[in-house]
Amino acid sequence: MGELLRDDAELILAERRYQAIADILESTLTKGEGKWTYTDMFDHVFLHKALGIPIFLAMLWAVFQFTFSLSEPFMVMIGMIFGWLGGLAEELIANPHLASFVAGGIFDGLGSVLVFVPPIFMLFLALSLLEDSGYMARAAFVMDRIMYKLGLHGRSFIPMMIGFGCNIPAIMATRSIDNEKDRMITILVNPLISCGARLPVYVLIAGAVFGAKYAGTVIFSMYLLGMVLAIVMALVFRKTLFKGKPSPFVLELPAYVVPTAKTTILHMWERGKWFLVRAGTIIFGTVIVIWFLSVHPWAATAGGEMIGNSYIASLGHFLEPIVRPFGWDWMAAVALLFGFLAKEVVVGTYGILLGVEEGAVGASLVSLGLFTPLTGLAFMAFILIYVPCVATIGVVAKETNSYRWAAFVVVYLVALAFIVSGLIIGIGRLLGFS
């Protein structure tokens, strides 16, 4: 009761403060002709009660369509370069073991991850343009009404939008939320917001099974699914673990401005460079481990050609029964296992296991029958939901000051991933899809 009264008092205080400001302005300010500014005109549309949310969703769709369409030529170029380097290494290096390491471990594995640098930077470029223009503050304002009704604090929208880049700084940004219950709910649901690390997997699978025409829309659907699930789980947590109403949200809207090229590029670089850092550390190390397991024991794999006899294949076949009901094979099981460390590793894993050039990984997934549109969609949903990465879980433990909450996040996300992916497969098969 005391908390409820405090929240109401904060809301009343904010209303009175702005009313006092309005009264002072009315008595001291001489009004001109009352012409509308550009900010007034844009806000009349973007903050409209009926049009605000559809416009926001249309903006997000345009962002992901822009990301995929503009980055595709650069992805092809990078794939061709790494494919050429891999072939050159196999020709020039006489030692078969070393040649396999350089061509398969370095160029095929790491190259299959770096090929997704263009879409990641294009995504951050588009998001930086929206943020620097002043639109993102309007998006938070528009979403506040529905988020409040469903149990999320309006200020939770900012960490959720940061989560599109990386869940780690997004969870740390929840420190700006004063109410502890609101903050805990935001931390628990933030991993459902699709970070940039998942984008390479979406681009690979969506581009392979849905084609360039529909890939952008399918990728957008994954981000939208993450937001919907975050809101649903927030409502569940609000009704069970953290009962009560969210505290009020007061936000000052900045004027619209034309983003400068320098500022936008700097924001894009600051958010995108983490991918290059991870590619050179965690991802590279994990890819080397996967390569080693895929070509050993060396005699049994015949120089890397008989991957079915490798250590990693044995591990994959052991885990395969878990994912087989979804229509996935042992390679998917291995990719998901190592994806626990970093989601970009999923792409690198397929690059090594398939043993093809970077640009041909997607085509191989389809030609070998590893994914259909239905199983591919379910796989992307699983990637979206199940544990984001080890580093994110570590931040959850730090910000909640409890390893129990970190363990809770792992358990509930994995369970939710199986449920949602199972529903996609079940409903799809009922509708006649295979």
Q: What is the pLDDT of residues 333-350, one digit of tens each?
A: 999 998 888 787 888 788
The answer, yes or no, to whether residue 378 has pLDDT greater than 90, is yes
Contact, 371 vs 422, CB < 8 A? no
Q: Residues of the chain with pLDDT > 90: what percent?
A: 15
What pLDDT does residue 318 have? 92
The answer, yes or no, to whether residue 17 has pLDDT greater than 50, is yes
246 cis-preceded (ω within 30 degrees of 0): no
The answer, yes or no, to whether residue 413 has pLDDT greater than 90, is yes
Using CA atoms of 14, 150, 147, 20 in order, give the dihedral in degrees to the nearest 10: -10
Contact, 142 vs 56, CB < 8 A? yes
Q: What is the largest CA-CA distance in the chain?
A: 89
Q: How far apart (Å, rounded) are the C-alpha atoms in residues 336 and 4?
A: 44
The answer, yes or no, to whether residue 7 has pLDDT greater than 60, is no
pTM of this structure:
0.74
Alpha-carbon separation of residue 140 from 131, 264, 288 (angstroms) = 11, 20, 42
Neighbouring C-alpha atoms within 13 Å toward the C-beta of 280 = 4
Over range 383-398, report the average pLDDT.
86
Alpha-carbon separation of residue 312 from 307, 308, 347, 356, 367 (angstroms) = 8, 8, 16, 17, 22
Surface-to-core class of residue 20, CB atoms within 10 Å of its CB (0-12 exposed, 13-18 middle, 19+ buried): exposed
Contact, 238 vs 244, CB < 8 A? yes
Query: Residues near 312 by Cβ (< 8 Å), separated by ≥ 6?
Result: 290, 293, 294, 334, 353
The answer, yes or no, to whether residue 37 has pLDDT greater than 80, is no
Tokens (6 digits) for 274: 């983490």
Query: Residues near 49 by Cβ (< 8 Å), separated by ≥ 6?
Result: none
Q: Count the neighbouring beta carbons within 10 Å of the beta carbon of residue 329.
A: 17
Over range 202-227, report the average pLDDT.
87
Least-confidence region, from 4-8, 326-330, 382-386, 420-424: 4-8
Q: How far apart (Å, rounded) are the C-alpha atoms in residues 120 and 172?
A: 22
Contact, 46 vs 130, CB < 8 A? no
* Tally: H helices and E strands in the chain: 22, 0
Span 233-291, pLDDT tens digits: 988 888 888 776 655 555 667 778 888 888 888 888 877 777 677 666 677 777 778 77
Q: Count the neighbouring beta carbons within 10 Å of the beta carbon of residue 433.
A: 14
Q: How far apart (Å, rounded) are the C-alpha atoms in residues 271 and 341?
A: 20
Contact, 256 vs 42, CB < 8 A? yes
Q: Name the residue with tokens 């935001």.
A: 186
Span 120-178, pLDDT tens digits: 788 788 888 888 888 877 777 777 767 766 666 566 677 777 777 778 777 877 876 77
Using CA atoms of 385, 410, 329, 356 in order, give the dihedral in degrees to the nearest 10: 70
Confidence band for 408, pLDDT divided at 50, 70 and 90: very high
Span 96-132, pLDDT tens digits: 777 777 777 677 767 766 777 787 788 788 888 888 8
Contact, 240 vs 93, CB < 8 A? no
Q: What are phi and psi of 428, to 5 degrees?
A: -60, -40
What pLDDT does residue 252 have? 65
Q: Which of 96, 95, 107 is nearest to 304 (CA)?
A: 96
Q: Count the neighbouring beta carbons within 10 Å of the beta carbon of residue 320.
A: 17
Confidence band for 301, pLDDT divided at 50, 70 and 90: low
User: What separation, in Å, do the N-terminal and C-terminal C-alpha atoms of the chain show?
Assistant: 53
Q: Which of 340, 329, 324, 328 is nearest to 289 (CA)?
A: 340
Domain extents for the chain?
Answer: 45-430
Contact, 230 vs 195, CB < 8 A? no
Length, in residues, of the chain: 434
What are the residue ranges of helices labelled H in 47-104? 52-92, 96-100
Q: How far apart (Å, rounded) are the C-alpha atoms in residues 333 and 9?
A: 53
Q: Which helix (H) or strand (E) holds 35?
A: none
